[in-house]
Structure 1
Amino acid sequence: MRPVLADLSVSISELKKSPSALLAQANGSPIAVLNHNKPAAYLVPAETYEALIELIDDYELAKLVEERRADKDQAVAVSLDDL
């Protein structure tokens, strides 16, 4: 069985009844939305989602930097004055 990765969990039916109240109750923490007692989705505040997207973007950029560092021997030397 998959673990529930949130302190607060609700059924889809409960979510439909009062989403605003649930968000207030969660106080900025994620909410696990369960379907047949299994996580179907996680509801996170917009600020948390935006921060996660930024972290993913930073991670992907860091991977690209590391890949390019590995190909350093193929780099072409350029003087800033020539640009």
Structure 2
Amino acid sequence: MNAPLKPPVIAEVLADACVSISNLKANPAAVIAEAQLRQVAVLNRNKPVAYVISPEVWEYLCSLHDDAADSELARERLAEGDDGIAVTLDDLLD
């Protein structure tokens, strides 16, 4: 019989810096200050459980999400045969 799958020994950390959850609890202001400069992974037992990012990074990620949703809506409408409204570049810039 096959052995049960074990979780990977190595966890991928998608951040430029790491901090343990106990260090975060001890000095949250320092972690937040560091997150203004780069992304910080919060580790619990050497596995990422959270990421701390700056408000600017969060706003950028939200705008990417909104752009993706708008693109998907446009693709759906084009697939339905919606011709849209003809506009010129000048119309958009006004």
TM-score normalized by the length of structure 1: 0.78
Tell me whether 1:15 sits opposite 2:24 in the alignment: yes
Partner deviation per Cα, 1:11-55 (whole Å, 9 max, x = no partner): 111011112222333452110000110000101011111110111
Unmatched runs of 5 consecutive residues or more in structure 1 = 79-83
- Decide which structure has greater helix share: 1
How many corresponding residue pairs?
76
Contact 2:35 2:53 in 1 (8 A): no
> Equivalent residue for 1:24?
33
> Equivalent residue for 1:68?
77
Distance across 2 between alignment mates of 1:57 and 1:77: 20
Unmatched runs of 5 consecutive residues or more in structure 2 = 1-9, 86-94
Identity of aligned residues (%): 43
Runs of 4+ in structure 1 over 6 Å off: none
CA RMSD, Structure 1 to Structure 2 (Å): 2.2
Aligned to 1:58, what secondary structure does the other structure show? helix
Counterpart AA for 2:59: E
Higher relative contact order structure (alpha carbons within 8 Å, sequence separation ≥ 6): 1
